[in-house]
């Protein structure tokens, strides 16, 4: 089933674009991240069990103080573009561990999904503000890590609804131009992997339904939704795209109005629910 909706105001706030543009300039050198390569046997077993690579070869930051340098850089960007968070960001910075042992422990757990890093802070802070800062700090490290390890698995054969690198849920999908294959995209480590053409990647419901949006230049977008888990997935149809490359990071940012439409229709962002 498919339906067509009309977006009355399809714009992206310039402030949001500027914020992510500045964040995207925070780059992590390759030699800052390393990992212990798992054996072929461990990789084969991990792939069979559907374990993300982060469970088999955790990323390691060579110098923990560099992680905190990046964290403070991200905090400054947040304060610049979200002045309402100035006080919370200042409190978080003051609460960060400053002795070597606690810094190393903090950084070693920063890449473990579900870790509670609040217990390593020197004082209580807003968990929301801390999470916002931590997520944006971890992202460039995970992006670099994804480039390094993604080839350890066959991404064409992964065929799961979670990221083969970090285990995160997809935030976007891409329909290939030629054969119409579907690829899922992780917004954290920016890895792309093959998934079945039809069905929901969140609950694995086999039905596929989507809506499109009326408007000039919007022909390439679809939003697949699932009435079983109420999740949705923004999708780029490459058959409707003339350019050779599609930057999925910016497509995700530039289509926030599709998120708004999906929420208005009663569906939820399952990536955020991870």
Q: Which domain CATH number covers 252?
A: 3.90.1670.10
The answer to whether residue 271 is domain-embedded is: no
Residue that has been written with the tokens 């968990």 in this structure? 127
Please report whether residue 135 resides in a domain: yes
| Coil/strand/helix, residue 5 | strand
Question: Looking at residue 272, what is its pLDDT?
Answer: 66
Band (pLDDT 50/70/90 cuts) for residue 204 is very high
Is 180 among the domain residues?
yes
Task: Decide which of 113 and 120 is more confident.
Answer: 120
Among residues 134, 152, 170, which one ends one of the domains?
152
* Residue-averaged pLDDT of the chain: 89
Mean pLDDT of 81-105: 94
Q: Residue 163: inside a domain, yes or no?
A: yes
Q: Which residues constitute the domain of residue 234?
A: 2-6+154-264
Residue 8: which pLDDT band, with cuts at 50, 70 and 90? Answer: very low
Residue 104 phi/psi, 5-degree rounding, is -65, -40
CA neighbor of 162 nearest in space, from 243, 58, 50, 74: 50
Beta-bridge partner residues of 2: 210
* Residue 11 falls inside a structural domain: no
Residue 124 confidence class, pLDDT cut points 50, 70, 90: very high
């Amino acid at each position: 089933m498919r339906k067509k909706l009309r977006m009355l105001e399809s714009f992206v706030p310039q402030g949001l674009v500027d914020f992510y543009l500045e964040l995207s300039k925070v780059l992590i050198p390759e030699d800052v991240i390393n990992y212990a390569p798992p054996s072929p046997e461990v990789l084969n077993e991990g792939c069979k069990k559907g374990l993300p690579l982060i469970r088999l070869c955790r990323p390691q930051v060579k110098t923990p103080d560099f992680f905190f340098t990046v964290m403070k850089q991200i905090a400054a960007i947040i304060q610049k573009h979200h002045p309402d968070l100035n006080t919370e960001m200042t409190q978080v910075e003051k609460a960060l561990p400053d002795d070597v042992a606690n810094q190393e422990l903090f950084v070693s757990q920063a890449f473990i999904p579900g870790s509670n890093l609040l217990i390593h802070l020197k004082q209580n802070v807003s968990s929301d503000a801390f999470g916002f800062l931590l997520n944006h700090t971890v992202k460039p490290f995970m992006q670099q890590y994804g480039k390094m390890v993604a080839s350890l698995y066959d991404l064409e054969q992964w065929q799961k609804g979670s990221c083969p690198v970090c285990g995160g849920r997809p935030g976007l999908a891409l329909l290939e131009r030629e054969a119409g294959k579907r690829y899922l995209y992780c917004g954290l480590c920016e890895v792309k992997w093959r998934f079945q053409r039809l069905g929901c990647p969140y609950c694995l419901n086999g039905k596929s339904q989507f809506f499109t949006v009326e408007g000039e230049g919007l022909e390439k977008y679809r939003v697949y939704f699932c009435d079983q888990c109420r999740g949705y997935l923004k999708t780029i149809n490459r058959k409707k795209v003339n350019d050779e490359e599609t930057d999925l990071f910016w497509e995700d940012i530039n289509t926030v109005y599709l998120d708004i439409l999906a929420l208005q229709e009663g569906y939820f962002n399952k990536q955020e629910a991870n």
